[in-house]
Structure 1
């Protein structure tokens, strides 16, 4: 099943007008730093000199990974479904942070190895009981990967707001993300792998060796969709599809940590202009994330040494989006406030 999406094209026609508005607010030129860049970006995304944040939402995509059979995680696979239960009970960090920021939160079963049954608050988009072990065979077939991406696209089409944050849950998904990063950026595996949920130094080395062996085994996977199907996960594929659709709808994409960034990496290889729509919430403490952000030419808003996932960084960065659009809309200009501007000398 081919993936169908409308190519995303950037429109910078309002750039000059937005720059003029930002530069004539009652402040020294450039003194709000990255908030000014953010206000300009959101204005360009929304094609408005009065951008606004409406109906912000975060979607947490959960799925399992067959590669956990290789002993690459400090936690057992059951933690994936147990944490989904925690999300549904409003007991996780993302529940707290989304609630305090008046952000809608959606929990998606993209492919958890557990039968939840019909549950209030759980969106069932299960593609299967986790992926296959990519150390032995491709994680997904091309059809399964395409189906997961399409499910992500269809989900975004049901949303009404203009800001979408991405989060994930899946034991083993830092291994998948590291493999994707290596294959799509050429960064050595040793610089892509990290502790994930808390591996020892020996555990990290074992993870590295598992990925290196798998990469050698699947050397023929070169194109982005082939790489995604071979090494990715249902939640990563679903996020990549959701991102493409969100950009098509001119939404602000709020990008969380390492795994979410790996999904974006795939989407950006398919449609580079998607990066114009992305706000990078933070740089995580997971080894490799900083280099992955650099490969995307990304400038994260926060540096809090987070490595939790769940979309927590997205939720924590949301107030900065509000601040950016609010200063653009509400702050006086030198003219309106009758404040003298800096002289030319």
Structure 2
């Protein structure tokens, strides 16, 4: 994380293939990198662009309503009134000294067909919980999800409600989201079989073509996850999600475990694949620069609620929501333009 490095370190060692290729004061490394590898890393760091413009406010100083998102025009998925509480852990809950914590409070979003929609917020804001509910992996006591003309009761498991399989997830850490006992070929074959059941009557997905599309050597099919690099494992997770042929993909911080050079490749890969296949994606991330580059609309989560939302250009240039501005201003200035 180059932003953290720029904020807290005095010196930097740049390592590649077991060797230190460059070492100097942090400011020297960031301002005048000498080694080509250092230059490549710094060039791959996403920059947050703050467009010039004024906040969209009314005369009384209150922010005007956010403009409509593309999900309002052509929605594929509509989530309404999704709420979920978590019971506190430990002795205090047993004696009634603590109240349940809301993970989500009456959350609703709309996803447009063929769009990438960002969800941003601090840790504990409910981003991942909401993504898992969208994918049918978790339940919520209240709420409803509609995909196309089909409504799904989120109080039931995704398998019972029929939601499971229509939405696929790409998890944050590829190392723990792949079965270590299965080869890559077995993992991807399983996804193809699952997708074939969901989309009965269609031509089965082409595994070899998917491997080529994602830049994965076919020789990896016989290997296990621990024999792959982090970037290769994340590509396998992307392939697994795509081969199941979902209508929607939830990508839960899919680049946070990767170095910046691999991260840039994965971001472009996701963006190109979604465009080519006319799919719909929810992209959950802490990194505002990546969200800005990927997404057409953004929802800002805070304490289990939607704090702000709108088209990406509006959120980053004209939203006057204090929490939104605080998130944007927290980005290291060195990587803001």
**TM-score, scaled relative to structure 1:** 0.27
Higher helix share: 1
Higher strand share: 2
